[in-house]
Amino acid sequence: MLLTLRQIMQQVDRAATLDDALAMAVQQAQKALSLDACAIYLKDPEGDTYVLVASDGETPPMLEPLGGEPGRRLVTVVGQRRELIVELETKVQPADGAPKDLTELAAGSFLGTPLIHYRTLLGVLVARKPAHQPYAADEVTFFLSLGAQLAKLVHEAAAMDGVGRLLRRDARADPYIQAVSAASGLAIGIAVSAEAQTRLESVPDRVAADPVAEEAAFNAAVAAARDELQAAGERLAGTVPEAVRALFEVQVMLLGSDALVSDTVDGIRAGNWAPGAWRTTIAHHAQVFEQMDDPYLRERAADVREIGQHVLMHLESRVRAARGTPQRCILVGETVGLAEIAAVPAPCLAGIVSLHGSPLSHMAVLARALGIPAVVSLAHAPELLDGRELVVDGDEGRVYLESSPALLKDLQKRLDRKRTRSAELQALRALPAQTQDGVQLPLYANIGLPADCAAARISGAEGIGLYRTEYRFLLDEALPVEDEQLRDYRQVLEAFAPMPVTLRTLDVGGDKVLSSFSVQEENPFLGCRGIRFSLDRPELFLIQLRAMLRANAGLGNLQVLFPMIGTVSELDEALHLLARAERELVAEGLEAARPRVGVMIEVPASVFLVGAMARRVDAFSIGTNDLTQYLLAVDRNNVQVVTPYDALHPAVLDAIRQVIDTAHRFGKSVSVCGEMAGDPAGALVLLGLGVDALSMSPPLLGEVKRAIRCLTHERARQLAEAALGMEDGFAIHRLLHRALDRIRACSGST
């Protein structure tokens, strides 16, 4: 049954439209399980009704389209219960006391499973056999698995408006791919792959400038790939079973086949360049194998694709040279990282599309800081993005594969509205973030490179609340020496003096990996991260602390911040090294100024240690990104858990309250520098909880300031109190968004 399921899904995946795919699925399921009938109903996302979109076999009442038919409730029941229902020998007449929905059926053995993806009910898959014919256990498993796989397919189509169009019976082309917004703004540009090696399927066609040279390059690439495979097979002789070694021979043999080579040479002679002609040949031959009945031959399709990629590796320099970096480049990758962003010349980078990842990843944080529109976690990964013109809509989290004049006009209108809005916010730049009853809340900027100072100043930030020093370490191949670090830190401190600048010590680990110190960890977010990394390498840590202290000389506006502190002894050790750095500098006759010292509260344990730590440091900064992740046990980088990841969760709010209350009892200040501070709803509740400052990405500062200027501190306090009394995050979101709606009606004069 498993093999049958795999074959069905292979066919379904190849279908051109969702309509065809679902029709094929029910047809094949009906055959595989000898059903009377099989059907798929999709739930209309706009309402609570189900629409029959595919059916096969006889259509008994229970499978008929909804609308007063007896079967109507049946499909609904599967959806409502969100569980597999196996109902054998259902009766035509309701039995006394029996659940009515399930008994108002035509006689038969009924099977129904909901189509659920990421906890969203998308539809229902139902089937019927004649009465008294039970379903075997493996048939039920088959049906359940088919439902799960179809749910993923429907989800992907829904993300491209495919479901809406199917329900509307609208045959227009897919307009966009839904993704998750990571950094706002609009960008139009040419997709450039961030991957080290180009995928063969994404190689474009191109006119060959010199067909003879193309043919020679292709033959050389094939010969090199064949030699490598042969050598690898020979190296393994005697160390692996012959059957395994034979796999190499199969590939060598396929590579030597006339068809693969001659078809490609024909393509080159017809005018295509070698990588494009090779892509066409491989796609054709892999498809031929895939359609074979013999399972062994079908498996050879994977070999053909593997060979295709291998030969392309030898043609890669041609692909890269031909590609170059377009003027307006949209960087596209599986999971785009900081190093890939750094590899694109800054003026060329227009947008970022990361097929995976989350808006809380450090890539997203950097994109927001740079003001580059970015989307992550595409619901559906298209085959050919490289080299295509794309539109990235960072506000709605969409990627448009084609930019029609109508779309561009629409987007331009939105851009104009945004410009007007940001001009309005810019007018607030010189005004303080002051509530209507006169309470001022300093707003600082989060940055990571000296070049970001300009954006921070333009935003009206009153200082730097978080300077992520690790960005320099991640962007440079070599570790920056003390003088290089000093130059960076000095530049930032000078740019803002006498306003405060908080330099956070190195916070690597998790998704921020230093290439020169990469360690293999099963679970890096719970591994050698933040202060643990620095304390493990005191020689590196001391260099950084010395650079910070030297940068503060004659200015005195530095605050050093330690990340990921989880125990008091970690803090003591860090303070000890800070004191040692200071002593060393004094002994060397260098000028150093003692800074203020702060601790980040982002490990849940530290929430309970604020009292002990308050005796040792000047301030606390709450990192709500990590605090939320660790307190709620939800990965900040995993979009599958994006709903449970909620900085407005009552437990997170209560932890923040506890930190503020304890720190204030000791006369110490508390700021918040996680993404929550840049969200107007989050900012209001933090203001009400009594936080002393907020720090955020510069583009977010205007909206937060506007929200603060439109209410009284007393009102914010009431909102925080009400939020603390609530039991779930949804209610808190509702409360704060209602308050924000009222604020939006506030006059522009504020």
Q: Are 198 and 316 in contact (CB under 8 A)?
A: yes
Partner from Mg ion, ligand PEP, none binding residue 113, C-beta < 5-8 Å depending on class = none
Q: Which is nearer to ligand PEP, 124 or 365 (CB)?
A: 365
Partner from ligand PEP, Mg ion, none binding residue 571, C-beta < 5-8 Å depending on class = none
Q: Are 364 and 376 in contact (CB under 8 A)?
A: yes
Q: By CB under 6 A, how many residues form the interface with ligand PEP? A: 11
Of the candidates 38, 329, 453, 673, the residue annotated as catalytic is 673
Partner from Mg ion, ligand PEP, none binding residue 639, C-beta < 5-8 Å depending on class = none
Looking at residue 572, its amino acid is D
- CB 629, min distance to ligand PEP, A: 8
| DSSP state letter for 594 | P
Residue 625 touches ligand PEP, criterion: CB under 6 A: yes
Applying the rule CB under 6 A, the residues between 478 and 507 that interact with ligand PEP are 507
Q: What are phi and psi of 552, to 5 degrees?
A: -85, -10
Q: Which is nearer to ligand PEP, 393 or 507 (CB)?
A: 507
Mask 550-589, x = binds ligand PEP (CB under 6 A)? ----------------------------------------
- CB 90, min distance to ligand PEP, A: 54
Applying the rule CB under 6 A, the residues between 342 and 371 that interact with ligand PEP are 365
- CB 695, min distance to ligand PEP, A: 8
In angstroms, the CA 544 to CA 538 distance is: 10
- 741 contacts: CB under 8 Å, gap ≥ 6: none
Residue 626 touches Mg ion, criterion: CB under 5 A: yes
In angstroms, the CA 264 to CA 281 distance is: 6
Residue 623 touches ligand PEP, criterion: CB under 6 A: yes
Q: Which is nearer to ligand PEP, 603 or 707 (CB)?
A: 603
Mask 145-184, x = binds ligand PEP (CB under 6 A)? ----------------------------------------
Q: Are 380 and 160 in contact (CB under 8 A)?
A: yes
Preceding peptide of 498 cis, ω within 30°: yes
The alpha carbon of 523 is separated from its chain's Cα centroid by a whole number of angstroms, namely 18
Among 626, 646, 679, 703, which residue interacts with ligand PEP (rule: CB under 6 A)? 626
Residue matched to tokens 């925080």? 720
Q: What are phi and psi of 51, to 5 degrees?
A: -120, 130
Is residue 673 annotated as a catalytic residue, yes or no?
yes
Burial degree of 230 (CB within 10 A; 0-12, 13-18, 19+)? middle
The residues pairing with 598 across neighbouring beta strands, listed in sequence order, are 561, 619
Of 115-123, 598-606, 634-642, 700-708, which part binds Mg ion (CB under 5 A)? 598-606
- CB 461, min distance to ligand PEP, A: 15
Among 468, 490, 546, 657, which residue interacts with ligand PEP (rule: CB under 6 A)? 468
Among 185, 397, 623, 698, which residue interacts with Mg ion (rule: CB under 5 A)? 623
Among 191, 277, 673, 696, which residue interacts with ligand PEP (rule: CB under 6 A)? 673
Among 211, 275, 308, 674, which residue interacts with ligand PEP (rule: CB under 6 A)? 674
Among 56, 101, 452, 602, which residue interacts with ligand PEP (rule: CB under 6 A)? 602
Of 112-120, 296-304, 622-630, 696-704, which part binds ligand PEP (CB under 6 A)? 622-630
In angstroms, the CA 332 to CA 340 distance is: 10
- CB 525, min distance to Mg ion, A: 10
- CB 626, min distance to ligand PEP, A: 3
Partner from Mg ion, ligand PEP, none binding residue 673, C-beta < 5-8 Å depending on class = ligand PEP
- CB 552, min distance to ligand PEP, A: 22
The residues pairing with 695 across neighbouring beta strands, listed in sequence order, are 444
- CB 447, min distance to ligand PEP, A: 12
Of the candidates 117, 362, 649, 713, the residue annotated as catalytic is 362
- Identify the helix (H) or strand (E) that includes residue 172: none
> Strands of 50-57's sheet, edge to edge?
50-57, 37-43, 120-129, 108-117, 85-90
Dihedral angle over CA of 13, 17, 21, 22, nearest 10: 140
In angstroms, the CA 658 to CA 514 distance is: 34
Partner from Mg ion, ligand PEP, none binding residue 254, C-beta < 5-8 Å depending on class = none
Helical ranges in 116-171 per DSSP H: 137-159, 162-168
The alpha carbon of 116 is separated from its chain's Cα centroid by a whole number of angstroms, namely 21
In angstroms, the CA 540 to CA 26 distance is: 62
Among 624, 637, 662, 671, which residue interacts with ligand PEP (rule: CB under 6 A)? 624
Applying the rule CB under 5 A, the residues between 183 and 242 that interact with Mg ion are none
Burial degree of 40 (CB within 10 A; 0-12, 13-18, 19+)? buried
- The token duo for 475 is 């962007």
SS3 state of residue 307: helix
Q: Exposure string (b/e) for 144-156, b if CB count within 10 Å is 16 or more? A: ebbbebbbbbbbb
- CB 600, min distance to Mg ion, A: 7
Other C-beta atoms within 10 Å of 199: how many?
Answer: 17
Of 65-73, 520-528, 570-578, 620-628, which part binds ligand PEP (CB under 6 A)? 620-628
Give the residues lining the site for Mg ion (CB under 5 A).
602, 623, 626
Give the residues lining the site for ligand PEP (CB under 6 A).
365, 466, 468, 507, 602, 623-626, 673-674
Question: Could you list the active site residues?
Answer: 362, 673
